[in-house]
Structure 1
Amino acid sequence: MERSFSEALKQRRTYYSITNQSPISDQEIECIVNMTVRHVPSAFNSQTTRVVLLLGESHKKLWQIVKDALKKIVPAEAFVKTEEKIDHSFACGYGTVLFFEDQKVVKGLQEAFPSYQENFPGWSLQTSAMHQLAIWVMLEDVGFGASLQHYNPLIDEEVRRAWNLPEHWHLIAEMPFGLPIGKPGEKEFQPLEERVRIFK
């Protein structure tokens, strides 16, 4: 869509009304993910973030895993509404991006730099957050709508098993995306003077 970065950032919103249509090819989606993983910064250039892109049947499989896990802990009368939300806001999309952080790398850095030991888990999460934002903005910029979900750690083991992922990959978030068919909700902004301070 050739927007400036600031314009693309302003347009990024949470979309719950999405379809399994795509405005771009799967290869272009892969390019967005690959470009982000390659170029988003990380503390000590640690490159701790791992990303899994689920399309087609794999995307549907993920949300079935989520429903199966929730069905075990959500009362039957409440699960009807839970299942409806998953089916109509997440599973109905075109794909899902899974964000992981590699704990083997984090622990290795803690051992290599003991004076920063307590900082590395936080820096790892900051790196993940940057990847999440970058992919979210770029997906929206090409015409997708997306949201960020957190069904971890409830689904962690089953997700690792389903796609044969390493034990040391720690799931952080799930981002379902698809062609938006409804507008996002209104967003309220707190006054900037309460959130930003400038000194000269």
Structure 2
Amino acid sequence: MSNQFIDLITKRRTIYAIGKNVSQTPEYLTDLIQHAIKQSPSSFNSQSSRAVILFNGENEKFWALVADKLKSYAKDEESAAKTTAKMASFAAGVGTVLFFEDLDVVKNLQAQFPSYAENFPIWAEHSTAIAQFATWTALHTEGLGASLQHYNPIVDEQVHAEWDIPAHWKLRAQLVFGSVEGEAKDKGYIDDAERFKVFQ
């Protein structure tokens, strides 16, 4: 089918080979990311998503923290070297968006609407996922590559300390981005009959 939005999300892919060869300024990309998150829907318009945007040296600092933390999990020198190389590939990008959910917002909603209390944490996960997807797609429209990573909670303590993050912000994901330096891998799809049911 032909649809502008579908075309955009079809072309948005995981790109692991990224670099710093971008024409956009950090100010422009910050504005883009902020707008993508602000326009992302959330349950009860809670706007519980939070983001810390790291560029250049701050981006490299984050992935160095992750690399240092992961060294303690390495079984041998070979696996340690692979992990270090992987973190270096993320540090090679121009930036990373650290996505958080504000747990105080979730708790306040649970108190206000007790009949929905057990659902608000689930809905918060929906909200952050939508914000991540919207940001990823927005960066794609600028010709940038990105991949979504999840090195929480192993670096939560260091992140909160290094960038003075409020304790009630819960780290959920890291979207690393930069210039496209390599193609995405082929993507396969399971048969539609396994995923969808339609009734008319």
Please report the TM-score for the alignment, with normalisation by the length of structure 2.
0.95
1:120 aligns with 2:105: no
Structure 2: which 5+ runs fail to align?
none
1:19 aligns with 2:19: yes
Question: 1:42 — aligned with what?
Answer: 42
Contact 2:37–2:134 at 8 Å: present in 1 too? no
Contact 2:49–2:102 at 8 Å: present in 1 too? yes
Q: Distance in 2 between matches of 1:24 and 1:5?
A: 23
In the TM superposition, residue 4 of structure 1 has moved relative to its aligned partner by 2.6
Q: Distance in 2 between matches of 1:137 and 1:199?
A: 31
1:110 aligns with 2:74: no
Q: Distance in 2 between matches of 1:14 and 1:182?
A: 11
In the TM superposition, residue 168 of structure 1 has moved relative to its aligned partner by 0.4
In the TM superposition, residue 170 of structure 1 has moved relative to its aligned partner by 0.2
Please show how residues 4-15 of structure 1 align to structure 2 within 5 Å: 4-15=4-15
Structure 1: which 5+ runs fail to align?
none
**Post-superposition, which runs of at least 4 consecutive aligned residues in structure 1 deviate over 6 A?**
none
Q: Say what the alpha-carbon RMSD is for the aligned residues.
A: 1.2
Please show how residues 178-193 of structure 1 align to structure 2 within 5 Å: 178-193=178-193
Aligned AA for 1:33?
I
In the TM superposition, residue 73 of structure 1 has moved relative to its aligned partner by 2.1
Question: 2:141 — aligned with what?
Answer: 141
Question: 1:68 — aligned with what?
Answer: 68
In the TM superposition, residue 7 of structure 1 has moved relative to its aligned partner by 1.3
1:82 aligns with 2:86: no
Q: Distance in 2 between matches of 1:37 and 1:18?
A: 22
In the TM superposition, residue 33 of structure 1 has moved relative to its aligned partner by 1.2
Q: Distance in 1 between matches of 2:22 and 2:131?
A: 21
Please report the TM-score for the alignment, with normalisation by the length of structure 1.
0.95
Aligned length: 197
Aligned AA for 1:25?
T
Distance 1:38 1:59, change over 3 A: same
Aligned AA for 2:129?
A
> Sequence identity of aligned pairs in percent?
41
Q: Distance in 2 between matches of 1:170 and 1:72?
A: 23
Deviates more, 1:115-124 or 1:20-29: 20-29
1:153 aligns with 2:153: yes
Q: Distance in 2 between matches of 1:118 and 1:96?
A: 31
